[in-house]
């Protein structure tokens, strides 16, 4: 079963408009709607006074229309009355200033007062609607991981308690934080301050623990909501469109996701310009990240229809996005939003229906999506796959790299996306995994820029290779231990014997200017290019766009690629047999330019079959029934060479030898 629908805000519109909107949704073949988000005070306008009667009518109207409801438990943003009664739940900035709740996500999620009221509201909402015939699932609030943390004294006190639980003694904390440096030793946990004060940031060890603390608070609150749903409405599904990957806040989703989400969810926002290939790749990566190793379909609880000040994507691109999401195991797409809002922060974020309530051309395009989705219900959708390839993702490495930009100059997320794009170009499925707890079996594990190498992650890689797996790890990996201290043993830390190498020196291919002011002299960013490394691999040479490479010394490993125009002429790729498997190290940051030929050379021996062959910009997957879904993600015509003739289910065209797709066009080729 596939679902197509929208996000609807009945509290924004007069009662007499509701039926008209629902009729339009029904005419467009919508079978799902998401309701209730971002409007706690529409249900509870003052403490303990609930006004659900208006929403009962909304739910009844959708039940009568046969449209299923995903009902968000709207605990964020907190209502004004709660902020005024308990200003301690307000966010405090890094300079210690309490901030007024001027927009959404300005409450301290970890504060016990906020949680007390939020859980009370959540319980009341769940009990009221758990048996409603329109209810299909509860949403665990909206976009956890967005906003910013609070640097209040209350958050500091909670951080101190969190550290005491983790380290037990202050001596252990002092060792973990290397407090002998610069005379920063702690006498008790009460000496701990949050390691951010205005523009000043503390030592890297402290910063990593701070982000772990905020992450754990977010996870704990989400788990509390999940437990309420499971206890009070055990037959209901649950999902959430969190934003764990948010570079400014976020949380460690893979640490605990199996205990929180029933159905993974996402806000699918590749942007209104499909030409932005990084954004398009990231939107797909985030979907696979949310799925993790759950093996369940994902719901696009928000799906881009317009943008801030942008009416919409090019014609047919929204439909293309919908089919691209199907390739990445989506089951539902819910347009954000139904109607362009008249006021508030999103007054010029355009929906399917214009400001005056009249449908725009996007309504027709989404209607086409919904009608076609109903045709595909017997075609093996949503996709259920068991990938042979996994990519390791680390929230902690994201924070570590961002916290020390003088060394980690290649953006962590960009490195992960480079690895992911390599598989996308081969139309290969993959799972995004947590190295601390690998749940499934894979033939190939890719570890891009994984700076933090804790004991559990190192043990996972070691065991994976020992059992016969092949791992590919790239530069910047295994630099620091679980405390964010650089290893005092041979790099890559805890794994040098597995890879059979030593990584010591490295080269900046461009002039280096650190963010720190060493020596009290202002340094000039010269932007000089000193080297342009070329990698000789097989019969070809490759020039990855990098500004850093590592000088690798082989121990038991064999060099299978080398730099040919650098001073050291050191190995660029090494391979080492370990146990029954093989550990491969790439001496440059993860780059599609070098990973594409490397991984392609591994597929045959590993028994990994790439997906359908397509020209650049065309994504494709073969479905369970043998049909193949092709999606042209570009604004130009593309021609796919076919091994056998077939008929397009969506186009009705008989293809012989070639499948021609116009800009942003899609088709499902049946035998």
CA distance 350 to 347: 8
At residue 35, does pLDDT exceed 90? yes
Pick the CATH number of 3-144+212-375 from 3.20.20.80, 3.40.30.10, 3.40.50.10490, 3.40.640.10: 3.20.20.80
Tokens describing residue 309: 């000040």
Torsion of Cα atoms, 444 then 448 then 452 then 455, to 10°: 10
Per-residue three-class SS string for 160-183: HHHHHHHHCCHHHHHHHCCCCHHH
Over residues 100-120, the mean pLDDT reads 97
At residue 378, does pLDDT exceed 90? no
Decide: 303 and 334 in contact? Cβ < 8 Å.
yes
Q: Which long-range contacts (CB under 8 A, 24 or more apart) does 363-367 make?
A: 363/24, 363/28, 365/315, 365/316, 365/318, 365/319, 366/4, 366/6, 366/28, 366/305, 366/318, 366/335, 367/27, 367/28, 367/29
CB count within 10 Å of CB 438 equals 22
CB count within 10 Å of CB 543 equals 13
Residue 217: per-residue pLDDT: 98
561 membership: H or E segment, kind and range:
strand 558-563
Q: Which of 251, 246, 603, 219 is nearest to 446 (CA)?
A: 603
At residue 119, does pLDDT exceed 80? yes
CB count within 10 Å of CB 331 equals 21
At residue 22, does pLDDT exceed 80? yes
- Is the previous residue joined to 337 through a cis bond, with omega within 30 degrees of 0? yes
Residues in the chain: 671
Residue 661: per-residue pLDDT: 98
Residue 57: per-residue pLDDT: 98
All structural domains of the chain with their residue ranges: 3-144+212-375, 389-606, 618-670
Of the pLDDT bands very low, low, confident and very high (cuts 50, 70, 90), residue 377 is confident
CA distance 560 to 594: 13
Of the pLDDT bands very low, low, confident and very high (cuts 50, 70, 90), residue 524 is confident
CA distance 498 to 577: 8
Would you say the C-alpha torsion 644, 650, 654, 659 has a positive or negative sign?
A: negative
CA distance 616 to 599: 18
Residue 519: per-residue pLDDT: 80
* Residues paired with 586 in a beta bridge: 474, 573
Residue 578: per-residue pLDDT: 98
Of the pLDDT bands very low, low, confident and very high (cuts 50, 70, 90), residue 671 is confident
CA distance 56 to 63: 10
CA distance 33 to 635: 30
Decide: 422 and 598 in contact? Cβ < 8 Å.
no
**Distance, C-alpha 593 to centroid of its chain:** 23
CB count within 10 Å of CB 56 equals 12
Of all residues in the chain, what percent carry a pLDDT higher than 70?
100
CA distance 610 to 593: 18
pTM: 0.97
Q: Which long-range contacts (CB under 8 A, 24 or more apart) does 39-44 make?
A: 39/9, 39/11, 39/74, 40/74, 40/75, 40/76, 40/77, 40/78, 40/79, 40/121, 41/79, 41/80, 41/81, 42/11, 43/74, 43/121, 43/125, 44/79, 44/121, 44/124
Residue 437: per-residue pLDDT: 97
Tell me the three state secondary structure of residue 553: strand
At residue 130, does pLDDT exceed 80? yes
CA distance 183 to 661: 66
Q: Give the fold, CATH level 3, of 389-606.
A: Rossmann fold (3.40.50)
Q: Residues near 547 by Cβ (< 8 Å), separated by ≥ 6? A: 409, 410, 508, 509, 510
- Picking from 92-96, 382-386, 461-465, 521-525, which range would have the lowest pLDDT averaged per residue? 521-525
CATH number of 618-670: 2.60.40.1180
Tell me the three state secondary structure of residue 299: strand
At residue 520, does pLDDT exceed 80? no
Tokens describing residue 61: 């109207």
CA distance 127 to 438: 36
At residue 518, does pLDDT exceed 90? no
Decide: 356 and 299 in contact? Cβ < 8 Å.
no
Of the pLDDT bands very low, low, confident and very high (cuts 50, 70, 90), residue 403 is very high
Mean pLDDT of the chain: 97
Residue 525: per-residue pLDDT: 85
DSSP 524: P
* Residues paired with 548 in a beta bridge: 508
How buried is 359 (Cβ within 10 angstroms: 0-12 exposed, 13-18 middle, 19+ buried)? middle
Of the pLDDT bands very low, low, confident and very high (cuts 50, 70, 90), residue 535 is very high
CA atoms within 13 A on the CB side of 143: 16
The DSSP-derived string for 389-453 is EEEE--HHHHHHHHH-TTT--S-HHHHHHHHHHHHHHTT---EEE-TTS--S--SEEEE-S--B-
How buried is 610 (Cβ within 10 angstroms: 0-12 exposed, 13-18 middle, 19+ buried)? middle
At residue 480, does pLDDT exceed 90? yes
Residue 19: per-residue pLDDT: 98
CA of 361: how far to CAs of 23, 358, 364, 486, 636, in Å? Answer: 17, 10, 5, 56, 21
CA distance 2 to 593: 36
Angle, CA 271 vertex, CA 268 and CA 275 arms, to 5°: 125
Decide: 454 and 460 in contact? Cβ < 8 Å.
no
Per-residue pLDDT tens digits for 220-267: 999 999 999 999 999 999 999 999 999 999 999 999 999 998 999 999
Residue 397: per-residue pLDDT: 98
Over residues 347-355, the mean pLDDT reads 97
Decide: 583 and 468 in contact? Cβ < 8 Å.
no
CA distance 336 to 350: 8
- Is the previous residue joined to 492 through a cis bond, with omega within 30 degrees of 0? yes
């Amino acid at each position: 079963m596939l679902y197509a629908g929208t996000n609807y805000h009945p509290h924004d519109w007069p009662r007499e408009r509701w039926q008209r909107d629902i009729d339009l949704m029904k005419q467009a073949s919508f079978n799902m709607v998401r309701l209730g988000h971002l409007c706690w005070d529409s249900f509870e306008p003052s403490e303990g006074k609930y006004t659900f009667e208006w929403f009962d009518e909304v739910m009844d109207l959708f039940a009568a229309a046969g449209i299923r409801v995903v009902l968000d438990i709207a605990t964020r943003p907190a209502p004004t009355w709660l902020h005024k009664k308990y200003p301690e739940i307000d966010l405090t900035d890094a300079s210690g200033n309490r901030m007024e709740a001027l927009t959404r996500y300005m409450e301290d999620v970890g504060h016990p007062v906020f949680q007390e009221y939020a859980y009370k509201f959540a319980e009341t909402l769940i009990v009221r609607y758990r048996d409603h015939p329109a209810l299909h699932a509860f949403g665990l609030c909206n976009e956890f991981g967005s906003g910013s943390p609070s640097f209040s004294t209350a958050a500091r006190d909670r951080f101190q308690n969190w550290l005491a639980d983790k380290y037990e003694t202050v001596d252990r904390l002092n060792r973990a934080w290397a407090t002998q440096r610069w005379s920063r030793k702690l006498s008790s946990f009460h000496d701990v301050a949050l390691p951010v004060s205005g523009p000043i940031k503390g030592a890297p060890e402290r910063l990593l623990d701070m982000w772990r603390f905020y992450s754990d608070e977010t996870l704990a609150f989400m788990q509390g909501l999940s437990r309420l749903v499971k206890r009070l409405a055990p037959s209901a599904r649950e999902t959430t469109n969190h934003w764990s990957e948010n570079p400014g806040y976020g949380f460690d989703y893979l640490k605990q996701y199996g205990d929180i989400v029933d159905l993974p969810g996402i806000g699918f926002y590749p942007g209104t310009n499909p030409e932005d290939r990084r954004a398009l790749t990231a939107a797909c990566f985030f979907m696979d990240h949310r799925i993790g190793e759950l093996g369940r379909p994902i719901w696009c609880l928000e799906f881009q229809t317009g943008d801030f000040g942008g009416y919409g994507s090019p014609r047919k691109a929204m439909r293309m996005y919908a089919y691209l999401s199907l390739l990445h195991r989506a089951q539902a797409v819910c347009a954000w939003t139904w109607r362009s809002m008249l006021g508030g922060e999103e007054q010029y974020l355009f929906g399917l229906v214009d400001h005056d309530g009249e449908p725009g051309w996007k309504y027709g395009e989404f209607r086409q999506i919904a009608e076609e989705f109903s045709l595909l219900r017997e075609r093996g959708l949503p996709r259920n796959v068991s990938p042979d390839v996994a990519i390791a993702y680390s929230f902690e490495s994201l924070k570590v790299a961002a916290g020390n930009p003088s060394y980690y100059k290649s953006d962590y997320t960009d490195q992960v996306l480079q690895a992911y794009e390599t598989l996308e170009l081969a139309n290969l499925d993959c799972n995004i995994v947590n190295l601390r707890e690998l749940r499934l079996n894979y033939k190939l594990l890719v570890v891009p820029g994984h700076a933090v190498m804790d004991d559990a992650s190192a043990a996972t890689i070691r065991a994976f290779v020992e059992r016969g797996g092949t791992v590919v790890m790239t530069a910047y990996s295994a630099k620091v231990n679980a405390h964010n201290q650089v290893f005092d043993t041979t790099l890559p830390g805890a794994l040098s014997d597995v890879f059979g190498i030593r990584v010591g020196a490295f080269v900046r291919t461009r002039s280096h200017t650190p963010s720190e002011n060493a020596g009290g002299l202002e340094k000039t960013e010269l932007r000089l290019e000193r080297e342009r490394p070329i990698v000789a691999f097989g019969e070809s040479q490759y020039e990855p766009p990098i500004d850093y490479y590592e000088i690798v010394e082989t121990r038991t490993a064999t060099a299978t690629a080398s730099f040919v125009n650098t001073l050291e002429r050191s190995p660029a790729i090494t391979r080492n047999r370990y146990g029954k498997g093989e550990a491969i190290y790439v001496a440059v940051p993860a780059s599609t330019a070098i990973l594409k030929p490397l991984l392609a050379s591994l597929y045959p021996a590993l028994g990994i079959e790439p997906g359908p062959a397509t020209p650049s910009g065309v994504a494709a997957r073969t479905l369970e029934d043998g049909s193949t879904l092709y999606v042209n993600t570009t604004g130009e015509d593309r021609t796919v060479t076919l091994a056998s003739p077939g008929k397009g289910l969506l186009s009705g065209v008989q293809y012989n030898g070639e499948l021609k797709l116009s800009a942003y066009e899609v088709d499902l080729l049946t035998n």
